[in-house]
Homo-oligomer: A and B are copies of this chain.
């Protein structure tokens, strides 16, 4: 008699869904495939020579410490270096306001763990980041989205009237994933004011902020508040995703809760990787490499937009974001990107179907297109294939 697995799963486990992006990462390994799916940095940007130097140095000078267990809150030097950079952006913090997490996905997940009971409401943008939707869903949260142009305050008031006051608001103010939008100063102030007025936590997820191609950045919302904003950051887009280093910045009493939750989750974030990252920042390599990275992605963004203009049929629209890694693409109403995906697979081009970003189950006619990962040649070829796929879909009888 073997175990009846379904019968012993937790209620939360029953709500866990496979990430279609993760599944696509596997498909994307096909040698013929042109993948616009994942949010992968371009491997050209990885600072191989600097890492050789730093890893040898860490092993030589502090190897026996760097290979040992570490503390849950994270490497002191790394947190000091991060603190410096955020203080320069107006945050009033010390390293003790920072906890290193094993990727910013862990930051998201621990947030769910710390704050969400089954049935609790989370308020986010519509669409929003799939990984966050998945994690919050696994805590059986009720996720409510606010569309661009809709009133956040009206939504909050309605929810409170229904006895569903949100536990927190989750937003990505810079180069939102997948929509590519950036909140301006007014919008930032307004949402912070709402969080204050209705006594809500505000989560500012900020993985793409440093990847800005044009214009000036707006201040981090975290720089305007010391009490109710929780900021996430990560090195996955600007340094090395393989190290899985993210962080949470928050008031100390909240950091302490992340610390407790992280003790249960994995005790500490890989310690050697943290020592390497700390040295990488200390030596100023981060800023140097970031400039090159942004340059590269800007070219790729421009090339992709140019190719869209050149090849896309009528009835396709897309964002032209000032930063980040994605275009958000919209087909004519009534067409489903899952149907498109099947055609595109035959032509060996991949993307992420749009509805996975929509907590209301809509967005069928949208998709997310990454421009950071592929070579220039493949960007052009991939857009051609994608345009052909859309043409094929449009030509079908409905």
Contacts and interface: CB of A to CB of B under 8 A. Distances in A.
A105 B267 contact: yes
A94 to B, nearest CB: 17
> How many copies of the shown chain assemble into the complex?
2
Interface in A34-87: 38, 40-41, 43-44, 46, 48, 51-52, 55-56, 59, 63-72
A113 B59 CA distance: 36
Nearest to A41: B68
A271 interface: yes
Contact of A242 (B10, B26, B72, B272): B272
A240 B41 CA distance: 28
Given A8-B167, A69-B40, A134 B46 contact: no
A2 B67 contact: no
Contact of A102 (B16, B38, B244): B244
A268 interface: yes
Contacts of A64: 43-44, 46, 48
A199 B5 CA distance: 11
Given A40-B69, A67-B240, 12 more contacts: A2-B228, A8-B167, A9-B257, A10-B114, A44-B64, A67-B243, A68-B241, A102-B102, A102-B270, A109-B265, A135-B264, A241-B271
13 contacts: A2-B251, A5-B253, A8-B115, A13-B115, A13-B257, A22-B72, A26-B71, A48-B59, A66-B242, A69-B242, A105-B267, A135-B264, A242-B272
Q: What 10 pairs between A and B have smallest CB-CB spacing? A: A43-B64, A242-B271, A16-B260, A242-B272, A2-B227, A46-B67, A106-B266, A69-B241, A67-B242, A13-B114
Interface of A: 1-5, 8-13, 16-19, 22, 25-26, 38, 40-41, 43-44, 46, 48, 51-52, 55-56, 59, 63-72, 102-103, 105-106, 109, 113-117, 120, 131, 134-135, 138-139, 167, 196, 199, 201, 227-228, 236, 240-244, 251, 253-254, 257, 259-261, 263-273
